[in-house]
Amino acid sequence: MEEKQLPAAKKVSWVKKAGYILLGALVIIQFFQPGKNNQSLDMANDISKVVTVPEDVHNILKTSCYDCHSNNTQYPWYANIQPVGWWLKDHIDEGKGHLNFQDFALVEPSERFPTKALRQDHKLEEVYETVEEGEMPLKSYTIIHGDAKLTDLQKKSILEWVKAARKELAERDSAAVTAFLSSH
């Protein structure tokens, strides 16, 4: 009889052990906090310094896009809990890599877009596309940040602003004019 009970007791202790190991791992990874997106409020190179950004549009962008596309993420408390913080960092690094509204004046020409204005214009074109198609802001973000979800009216404001902003850039750079015309 006693022998029969032994395996069951062993099983419980294994589950317990695994639980302790998992708990230990969770505690240990808390010591590996990722660096925070640098929390800069410096607006010297912000997109609003490059093209006209009406205040209401700027506010929409700040609420719905800047957490991942600027140098100043407003972190939720659970960003301090790993592995959530690592996951957020991944999104922010990737989002910022594609587009940084707060560094928009620093956009460099590339092979494909040989002037600053052309490259900025291309980024604006992408803003238009991602907003129009509802790809941005990311769904995983709006599930938690309900206020970042774009209403139809907000979408319309962004799209109209992008058109005006691209026109503004086009007037400044004749190469961009060609790009602008060929994409319309």
Residues that bind ligand HEC (CB under 6 A): 64-65, 67-69, 91, 94-95, 98-99, 126-127, 130-131, 136-138, 141
Given the structure tokens 């190991």, which residue do they identify? 21
Q: Which residue, 3 or 152, has its beta carbon nearer to ligand HEC?
A: 152
Min dist. Cβ of residue 112 to ligand HEC (A)? 13
End-to-end CA, the chain: 84
Q: Which residue, 89 or 167, has its beta carbon nearer to ligand HEC?
A: 89
Min dist. Cβ of residue 66 to ligand HEC (A)? 8
Residues 78 and 130 sit within 8 Å (Cβ to Cβ):
no
Given the structure tokens 């009970």, which residue do they identify? 5
Q: Which residue, 149 or 167, has its beta carbon nearer to ligand HEC?
A: 149
Q: Which residue, 23 or 86, has its beta carbon nearer to ligand HEC?
A: 86
d(CA 76, CA 133): 27
Min dist. Cβ of residue 110 to ligand HEC (A)? 13
Q: Cα 77 from chain centroid?
A: 17
> Who contacts 43 (Cβ-Cβ below 8 Å, separation ≥6)?
49, 102
